[in-house]
Chains A and B, each alone.
Chain A
Amino acid sequence: MQERAGFVTLGPVPFNWEPDKWRDFYFRIADEAPVATVYIGETICSKRAPLIEPYYEAVAERLSSAGKTVVFSTLSEVVSKLDRKLSEQICTADEFLVEANDSSALLHLHGRPHHIGPLMNVYNERAAAFLVRNGAQNICLPIEMPAGAIAALCQGVRGLDTTIEVQVFGRQSLALSARCYHARAHGRTKDSCRFVCENDPDGLELRTLDGRPFLTINGVQTLSYEYLNLIRELPELRAMGVSRFRLSPHSLDMVEVALIFADVLNGRIGIDEAAPRLETVKPAAPFSNGFYHGMPGYTWNGASVI
């Protein structure tokens, strides 16, 4: 029954939160949030990883004790020696499941059960089937997949031993680069950044020259300004065969967000009750759902909201 209903999952924190805050966030998730799987680890910048590393064990233990499946997410852009070392360390440790966010991880994870992250490009059933043969047992689809392609992919992987996951809440990752744009915004470079990204718990907002909010910078990552919200699309996604619904963490009340999504999945509340409840926890930025509907990603129900 639970499997048919699907599960809420929590993606890795993409931002540079203070280590204490990062730990306390996951402790509260462990104690209060109805999420089945929690992804942890640094996915954006290898320089940040040592900051939260001392808390990995305590956080993973607390989450596991609370009955959550803990999955370590790998770095999404692997270039430097430090990046490579970090990716290899996570992939070769065998205490936890690993989510691959870069093809270098696929080499290390060959033949072992693992997850595929949304920053990998799995757009079709043929790519999915290949990755399942390589050991993938859960695939989170790219953020820009429209409904028709999600449905076709789910249809195409039926019979394969994998579950399909889709992000349904939070700012959407739109691009990665080797250059750190947080450092650039402060006249620094990646090597001399002095962790200036720690000042922006939900990223640094970029506006166009005429003042319209546009994008969000998070180190080497560029995210949407809007927050994705697919609460209304949950029943449709579930009918397609998607069974994992990912929330991407922000500094707002993620426990409440998880409760709302879980309540809808379990049939405790209807969409009409859930949607206004989400409005009460949402940040200043508007919601969007354009990619799912084959529209520009920033749009909400086919229209601009800014």
Chain B
Amino acid sequence: MPDPDFLRPELVCPAGTPAALRTAVDAGADAVYCGFQNATNARNFPGLNFTPAELEQAIGYAHAREAKVLLAVNTFPPAGRFDLWRDAIDVAARLGVDAVIVGDIGVADYAARTYPDLRLHLSVQAGASSPEAIRFYCQAFAVKRVVLPRILTVTEIAELHREIPCEIEAFIFGNIGMMAEGRCSLTNYATGLSTNMDGVCSPAADVRYEEDEDSTLTTKLGPFMIDRFACGENAGYPTICKGRYLCSSKPGGYYAFEEPVSLNLSALLPDLMRAGVTALKIEGRQRSRAYVKAVVSAFRKAVDDIMASHEPALANLLALTEGHKETQGAYRSKTWR
């Protein structure tokens, strides 16, 4: 650093509520992404998301401050319920969002045919993890940007960048799911609610915390024990892919998929920028305004420092990660796999 190859990347930040959106914009987000209050987006949680009227106001607020608003319509409409997703696209086009983030082929087809000028981003839910898959979506629906699954190394992202005709958006911070996005029915298997069709993962209504007489805390999703914590241990929210289980080779119990960790790529930011990543994405539409403010401000400063050839300071972000444990996930090395 400095590096003439650096393009100033767009900082894409989450907003679960109109207040969080204003907070993210004020903290320096270049773009904010959000969803409607229904199954059309992958964070369909109670108390979260926007009405069309709120979205209209939010777009006004963001545009007045030169920030973009991206709308996630990134779940998969089951046959018979397509109207809800069609309406979401119609409203997005009418209100002038800067892009719609889509995952379903049917939704993408509807948007591309009905609103050829509406900018489409391919959601991570589409699971496009190779140049061929991404090119398919670019050819079929004129997708302008792909949100990459969190399974590629930085080296692979750099190679991918040279082989695709669209921009790359990569996750840099927040929750890290272990399963390929858009291809996980674990929640539905345990609860009857689908991540793909209903936009939920480990819904709170099916989560239980049970404490026994020696203060051991058990977390459950539906009838299934996801983890158990001794008194004083930091108990995580029960998500199937971050639970502890038994198998024949691990009779004592182990994290079969992943430990409860969060993604933090702050140390890899310059590498990602050099790899050709156009947009850096922060996960967390379900998080508080205070969280959004802290994380967005920190990354705003970090990106600006890197652009100005200064060493970025990001050590304080660890306190905000899930269970205070962080990982660079797949991005650093193939041994993660």
Residues of A within 8 A of B (CB): 77-79, 83-84, 87-88, 102-108, 110, 119, 121-131, 134, 142-146, 148-153, 155-156, 172, 174-181, 184-186, 189-191, 204-212, 214-215, 217, 222, 224, 290-291, 294-298, 304
Give the interface of B toward A (CB within 8 A).
Answer: 76-82, 103-107, 109-110, 126-133, 135-137, 139-140, 149, 151-152, 156, 178-180, 182-186, 188-192, 194, 196-197, 218, 222-228, 240-241, 243-250, 253-254, 256-258, 330, 334-337
Task: Determine which of B104, B224, B330 lies in contact with A214 in the assembled complex, contact meaning CB atoms within 8 Å.
Answer: B224
Residues in chain A near residue B334, CB distance under 8 A: 189-191
Asked whether B337 lies within 8 Å of A207 as measured between CB atoms, the reply is no
Closest to A102 in B: B133
12 A-B residue pairs with Cβ-Cβ distance under 8 Å, sorted by A, are: A104-B131, A129-B109, A174-B189, A176-B184, A178-B149, A181-B256, A184-B257, A190-B334, A204-B248, A207-B247, A209-B244, A295-B192
Residues of A contacting B149 with CB < 8 Å? 178
What B residues does A102 contact at CB under 8 A? 127, 130, 133
> In whole angstroms, what is the CA distance A103 to B247 when docked?
33
- Please, how many angstroms separate the alpha-carbon atoms of A85 and B93 in the complex? 39
For B132, the chain A residues whose CB sits under 8 A away are 78, 84, 87-88, 103-105, 107-108
Contacts of B81 in A (CB 8 A): 124, 149
Distance in Å from the Cβ of A182 to the closest Cβ of chain B? 9
Give me 8 other A-B pairs in contact (C-beta within 8 A), A103-B126, A123-B79 excluded.
A107-B132, A124-B81, A126-B106, A144-B188, A178-B149, A215-B240, A296-B191, A296-B192
A121-B225 in contact (CB<8A): no
Nearest-neighbour CB distance to chain B for A141, whole angstroms, equals 9
Indicate if the CB atoms of A207 and B196 lie closer than 8 Å: no
- Known contacts: A83-B130, A121-B76, A177-B180. The answer to whether A189 contacts B337 by CB under 8 A is yes
Within the complex, which residue of B78, B135, B184, B226 is in contact with A107, where a contact is CB–CB below 8 Å? B135
Contact A103 B192, beta carbon cutoff 8 Å:
no
B179 touches A175 (CB 8 A): yes
Q: Which residues of B contact A304 (CB under 8 A)?
A: 223
With a CB–CB cut-off of 8 A, which chain B residues contact A204? Answer: 247-249
Residues of A near B241 (CB, < 8 A) are: 175
B-side contacts of A291, CB under 8 Å: 185, 188-189
User: Within 8 Å CB of B105, what residues of A?
Assistant: 121-122, 126-127, 130-131
Identify which of A155, A179, A189, A205 contacts B257 (C-beta below 8 A). Answer: A179
Interface of A is mostly: mixed
- B179–chain A nearest beta-carbon distance, Å: 4
Contact A296 B256 (CB under 8 A): no
Contact call B186/A175, Cβ cutoff below 8 A: yes
CB pair B180 A210 closer than 8 Å: no
Which residues of A sit under 8 angstroms from B79, Cβ to Cβ?
123-125, 149-153, 155-156
Measured CB to CB, the closest approach of chain A to B77, in angstroms, equals 5
Q: Which residues of B contact A181 (CB under 8 A)?
A: 256-257
Contact at B182–A123, with CB atoms within 8 Å?
no
Q: Are A186 and B249 in contact (CB under 8 A)?
A: yes
- Residues on the B chain within 8 Å of A149, using CB: 78-81, 197
A77 to B181, CA, bound (A): 11
Q: A87-B132, A208-B224 are known contacts. Are A123 and B192 too (CB-CB below 8 A)?
A: no
- Nearest chain A residue, comparing its CB with the CB of B76: A123
Residues on B with beta carbons closer than 8 Å to the beta carbon of A212: 223-225
Bound Cα distance from A125 to B104, whole angstroms: 11
Chain A residues near B225: list those with CB within 8 A: 208-210, 212
Q: In the complex the two chains form, is B178's CB within 8 Å of A179's CB?
A: yes
7 nearest A-B residue pairs (beta carbon): A126-B106, A152-B80, A178-B151, A104-B132, A127-B106, A153-B79, A152-B79
Flag if B245 contacts A78 (CB, 8 Å): no
- Minimum C-beta distance from A59 to chain B (A): 27
B104→A121 contact, CB < 8 A: yes
B249 touches A185 (CB 8 A): yes
B136 pairs with A224, CB closer than 8 A: no
User: Across the interface, do A189 and B245 meet the contact criterion of CB distance under 8 Å?
Assistant: no
Instruction: State the Cβ distance, B206 to closest chain A Cβ, in Å.
Output: 9
B contact residues around A211 at 8 Å (CB): 246
A280, chain B: closest CB distance, angstroms: 26
> Please, how many angstroms separate the alpha-carbon atoms of A123 and B79 in the complex?
6
Are B110 and A103 in contact (CB-based, < 8 A)?
no
CB distance from B329 to the nearest CB of A (A): 10
A175 and B184 contact, CB distance less than 8 A: yes
**Of A156, A174, A178, A298, which one neighbours B330 at CB under 8 angstroms?**
A178
User: In the complex, which residues of chain A have a beta carbon less than 8 angstroms from the beta carbon of B184?
Assistant: 174-176
Q: Are A184 and B130 in contact (CB under 8 A)?
A: no
Q: In the bound complex, how far is the Cα of B185 from the Cα of A127, in angstroms?
A: 19
CA distance A288 to B337 in the complex (A): 31
Cβ of B249 to closest chain A Cβ, rounded Å = 5
**A residues near B223, Cβ cutoff 8 Å:** 212, 304
Given contacts A126-B106, A297-B189, contact A177 B335 (CB under 8 A): no
Q: Are A79 and B129 in contact (CB under 8 A)?
A: yes
Give Cα distance in the complex from A130 to B82, angstroms: 15
Task: Please name all residues of chain A whose beta carbon is closer than 8 Å to the beta carbon of B136 when the two chains form the complex.
Answer: 103-104, 106-107, 110
Question: Contacting B227 at CB < 8 Å: which of A130, A143, A209?
Answer: A209
The closest CB in chain B to the CB of A122 belongs to B105
Partner of A178, one of B140, B180, B188: B180
Contact of B151 among A79, A110, A124 (CB under 8 A): A79
- The residue of chain B having its C-beta at the shortest distance from the C-beta of A304 within the complex is B223
Beta-carbon contact of A206 and B247 below 8 Å: yes
Residues of A within 8 A of B182 (CB): 121
